[in-house]
Amino acid sequence: MIRYNDWEFSPAASLLITNEFISDDADTITTCHKLMITVKDFVVPSSTCGIIEDEMEDIKSRLGRKGMALILGNVGYGTSLIVNDPGETGSTWDIKAGPKPRVVSWEPIGNTASAHITWQCEVNLSPCLSNFEGVSEFNYSIIHSLNDRGYTTATKSGYLRIAQSSIEGVQDPFAQSKLSDTADRYRDEITNKFNKPINYKREQSFHLSSDFSRVDFVITDREIESPNAYPEGVVSISAPTRSRFRLPQAGESANTTISVNLELAADQPRVRAWEIFDAIVTERTKRFSGSILESRIVRDLEVSEDYFSHRYSFTMVMTSVAPLFAHMSAIGYFSPIPLNWIDWDNSMATVKANRGFANRHHIADGANPQLFNLCDADGLEEPAGYAIQEPPDKTIYKLCSEAPNPEESWFDQDAMLIECPEIESTYQTTYGRADVVQKEFDPSNSDYGNGTLIGVENPDYEVHYSDSPPVQRFIWKGRIKRIGYPIAPIGKTMIGDKVAKVVGTPYFTSRLIGYMFCLPVYEAVWNVGLVVVETPTLDIKESDPTNSAREDAG
C-alpha cells in the first residue's frame, strides 16, 4: 500500500526508494536519512457523468501538498514506513517539515479518463527513530588571534539546526512545523557552550534562516587590555592622571589632573558615571588624609555628558603642598586600583547576554504563521517594534573637598613689598580689581542666583613720609585667596626679624567670594604703609606676605 494525503495508489504502482545519509557540515556524524520516493502509477478516476476533471484536480492537489501523512506498507521495504500520521501506531515524523513532493509528471492516456503519472517525494527522517524534536546538528570552529601586545581574541563560529516535525498535526502541518519550534530559541544553549573569561568583552551575531530551522552564529571574545579591573556597569573606560611640578614651587606644591572618560552599559543609571568618577578620585587621593601632607584642594572640575549616548568625561585639577616624592606617593602612582574583574563581569550579565537590552526573540506563534503567498488575502501585518530602554531613576551625588590644614589653605597670592628710601615724599600705590566668582558644584540645586559678586574697585592708598629718624619705609600691597577659612585683618607684620609698624590709614578688605566643592572661598586685598624704626640686620627675604594674617586667622 502506498498512500499520501489520503490518496492511495493502485496495487500495480511501481516504487523506487533511494536513501541518502546526510552528514553535518563537519562530515563527522549522520544527522538525517534523506529518502527520495518515486512512484509510477496509472490514475483512473472513479467518477462519471462529466466530473472527471474535478477528481483529477483533487488528485493533483493532494499529491502536491507538503507535510501530509505518508504510508508505505508491504512494498518490500521492510517494516511499514508511516510518516506524520499520529493516528497510526509506530508513526515517525519528517524532521524537515516534510514530506515534500518534488515532481508530479502527468501523461494523459486516451481521452480524459486516465493518465500515467510519476510522483516523487522527499522524506527526511531522524537516524534514531525515537527522537523527532530539538537540536539535530551543532558545529563550530574556533580562531585564536594574538596582537602585538600579547592580548587574545577568540572567535567561535558555527551553526545549530533543529528538527522541524509537524507533531501538532494541524490543517497545514508545514506551517505548524515552522512555528512549533524555532532555532532562535536555542541561543542560550549556544552561548553556554562557550564560557567567556571574566576579563573579556563579548560580541555576538545570530543569523536565523528563512525556514527558522538553522541559526548561524559568530561569538567573539576580546581580552580587555587593562592592568586594572573595570568598575561595575561600564562598557569602556580610561582614566589618565598627570601631575605637574614647576619652579619655583617644585618640592612645595603640585597640580594633579585626574581625567576619567567612560561609557556606561545601557541598563545603568546615568548618575552611575558620577559615582565611578568620585570613587576613583577618592581612591587615588585617600592617602592624603591623616598623612603629613594633610590636605588637598580641588581647584577645577569639568564634566561632559553626551545626552544621546552613554558616554561621559570628567577632568579634575587638584593642588597639594608636598615634596615631589610625597605627592606622587599620595596620589598612588604605579599602584593598582582595588577593583575586581568578577564584580565587573557579573554587572555586565545583561550586556553579554545573547539577546541584548532589547531582548528580541523569534517566537513560534501558531496563530500567526508568517507564511505568505499570492493566495493570502490579508497581506503582511505590522512588524513588532523593538523594546525602548527607559532611563533608570537618577540620584544626585556631591563631590566635596576636605577642609585643608589652615597653614596650607592659601592660594593665588600676588603681593609685593616696595621700599621707599626718600624722605619728604608722597607715595601712592594702586591695586586693581578682585572679582573672582566661584560657586560650589551642587547638581541638585537648580537656583544659583545671578552669580554676581562686586569686586574691589581700584583701592588707592597714599602714604606721606616726612620724618627724618633712621627708619626703613615700605609699602606692602597684594591680594590672596583662602579656602575653608576667613581672612583676618592685618596684624603684626615682620620684615626680616624686625617688627614693622603701620603708618597712615591702611586699606584692607576681605569677602566671601563663593564656594568650591563644599568649602567657602575668601579673598583679601590690602595696601599698607610700613616703617621699621631700626635698620634690620637681616636682608629682606622673599616670603609669604600673609604671615600676619595667618597668625591671626590660623
Backbone angles phi, psi at 283, to 5 degrees: -65, -40
d(C-alpha 225, C-alpha 150), whole Å: 9
Confidence class for position 503, pLDDT limits 50, 70, 90: confident
Q: For residue 258, give the nearest of 271, 276, 270, 246 by alpha carbon.
A: 276
Average pLDDT (291-302) is 71
Dig out the grid coordinates for 467 from the structure: 620724618
Q: What is the pLDDT of residue 488?
A: 85
Of the candidates 544, 528, 538, the residue with the CA atom closest to the CA atom of residue 496: 538
494 pairs with which residues across the strands? 499
Q: What angle do CA 530, 531, 534 make, to 5 degrees?
A: 150
How high is the pLDDT of residue 342? 86
Q: Given 3-state DSSP classes, what are the helix, strand and coil percentages for the chain, each rounded to the nearest 5?
A: 15, 40, 45
Nearest to 523 by CA among 431, 411, 439: 411
pLDDT digits (tens, 9 = 90+) for 11-35: 888 999 999 999 988 888 888 999 9
pLDDT in tens, 211-251: 888 999 999 999 999 999 999 999 999 999 988 876 655 44
pLDDT at 119 > cutoff 80:
yes
Is residue 460 scored above 70 in pLDDT? Answer: no
Cα separation, 477 vs 459, in Å, equals 11
Rama region for 479: left / alpha / beta (φ>0; ψ in -120 to 50; rest):
beta
The amino acid at residue 156 is K
- Alpha carbon 396 to chain centroid, angstroms: 21
With cut-offs at 50, 70 and 90, classify the pLDDT of residue 443.
Answer: very low
| Burial class, 454, CB count within 10 angstroms (exposed 0-12 / middle 13-18 / buried 19+) | exposed
What is residue 178's predicted lDDT score, i.e. its pLDDT?
46
Residue recorded with cell 541561543: 187
**Residues written for the chain:** 554
Report pLDDT for 449.
Answer: 36
Preceding amide of 323 cis, omega within 30: no
Contact by Cβ (8 Å): 202, 196: yes
Can you give the pLDDT at residue 217? 95
Packed helices 272-285 and 324-331: angle between N→C axes, nearest 10 degrees = 140
Residue 81 in grid coordinates:
514506513
Strand bridging mode 241-244 / 81-83: unpaired
Residue 519 · residue 486 · CB < 8 Å: no
Instruction: Please state, in angstroms and rounded to a whole number, the distance separating the CA atoms of residues 166 and 86.
Output: 10
Neighbours of 238 (CB within 10 A): 10
**DSSP state, residue 76:** S
260 pLDDT exceeds 80? Answer: yes
DSSP state, 286?
Answer: G
- Do residues 66 and 124 make contact, with C-beta atoms less than 8 angstroms apart? no
Closest CA to 15 of 92, 91, 93, 70: 70
Predicted confidence at residue 169, as pLDDT, reads 46
Residue 10 in grid coordinates: 493502485
Q: What pLDDT shows up at residue 214?
A: 92
Q: How confident is the prediction for the chain on average, in pLDDT?
A: 76
Q: Nearest 10 degrees: CA dihedral of 281, 284, 285, 288?
A: 170
Percentage of the chain exceeding pLDDT 90: 19
Helix (H, G, I), strand (E, B) or coil at 317: strand
Q: Over the range 353-371, which residues count as b (16 or more CB within 10 Å of their CB) and which as e?
A: ebbeeeeeeeebeeeebee
Question: Tens digit of pLDDT for each residue in 47-73?
Answer: 555 566 778 888 888 888 888 889 988
Q: Are 508 and 552 in contact (CB under 8 A)?
A: no
Spatial separation of the C-alpha atoms in residues 375 and 170, rounded to whole Å: 19
- Strand residues in 278-419 grouped as ranges (E): 297-305, 311-321, 410-419
Which of these, 22, 352, 3, 396, lies nearest to 187 by C-alpha position?
Answer: 352
Lowest mean pLDDT of 62-71, 312-321, 389-398, 528-537, name the range.
Answer: 389-398
Give first-to-last CA distance, the chain, whole Å: 111
Whether 383 contacts 267, CB under 8 Å = no
User: What DSSP character marks residue 444?
Assistant: T
